[in-house]
Amino acid sequence: MDVYGLIGNPVGHSLSPPMHEAGYEALGLDARYVTFEPPADSGAEAIEAAATLGVDGLNVTIPFKQDVLDAVDPAPLAERIGAVNTVDFDGGTPTGYNTDAVGAVRALEHHDVSLSGTAVVVGAGGAGRAVAFGLADEGLSVRIANRTESKADALADEVPDASGHGLDSLPNLLADADVLVNCTSVGMEEDTTPVPADALHGDLAVLDAVYTPIETRLLQDAAAAGATTVDGAWMLLYQGVEAFERWTGEDAPVDRMNDQLRDHL
């Protein structure tokens, strides 16, 4: 039996176990997905312990995405982002990947969004870093808007063809933008949005990384403006799909994994 799982603290809220196990069941794989909750300061030690135990793959969540870099051989994108959320133990030193960037790209592609032109990324934290690099690698010009403008500037210095801005610049930035991605927690469990509704327009594709609630105020405002909307569960799904396919070498049963994920939201 292959064993995959998740390390984080806490992990009790995670939707990854039902999503991944639905995939194993659909393909008839002899595999299980389990959760581990090591102490908050022991991410690297947890990777070493998992390798010793023969775990085949791990997802990594808060607070360990940066800590585990010292215990893995990071893939180039993960190294640039500075965070790992997927580890493959297939021989030798564990390899660390960041599938958040791919998750955002595949979520947009699933909704037939053309990945060209200009993207506005709101937030310069962990998710913002991953999405900014992912969209830049697809060839988009990336404008990063953050509450603390200096953090947006610092990230923009690392990302190709990017610029940093404060949140007050959003109306101007969005006027001719093609893609908008909210990578902040604004709107989570509350009816608020980081983006003025009157800055949205029908030529935008809007992805909100927040998935609780599934239809955030930002997405409601975007739909009202005629924009293409992509809820955060799609990004969550596709980062998991990317990990699933790396670990198993199989095409993930995306529909089955999506159904199970949404059943648990």
The set of catalytic residues is: 65
Residue 258 marked as a ligand binder:
no
Residue 85 marked as a ligand binder:
yes
User: What single DSSP character describes residue 211?
Assistant: -
Whole-angstrom Cα distance, residue 260 to residue 256?
Answer: 6
Residue 125 marked as a ligand binder:
yes
Residue 66 marked as a ligand binder:
no
CA separation, residue 43 to residues 6, 59, 94, 96 (Å): 11, 12, 13, 13
8 A C-beta contact, residue 134 and residue 126: no
Residue 151 marked as a ligand binder:
yes
Residue 233 marked as a ligand binder:
no
Residue 149 marked as a ligand binder:
yes
Length of the chain: 265
DSSP string, 92-149: SSPEEE--HHHHHHHHHHHTT----SEEEEE--SHHHHHHHHHHHHTT-EEEEEESSH
Residue 223 marked as a ligand binder:
no
Residue 147 marked as a ligand binder:
yes
The tally of CA atoms less than 13 A away on the side-chain side of residue 149 is 8
Binding-site residue set for shikimate: 14-16, 61, 85, 100, 211, 239
Binding-site residue set: 14-16, 61, 85, 100, 123-127, 146-151, 209, 211, 232, 239
Binding-site residue set for NADP(+): 123-127, 146-151, 209, 232
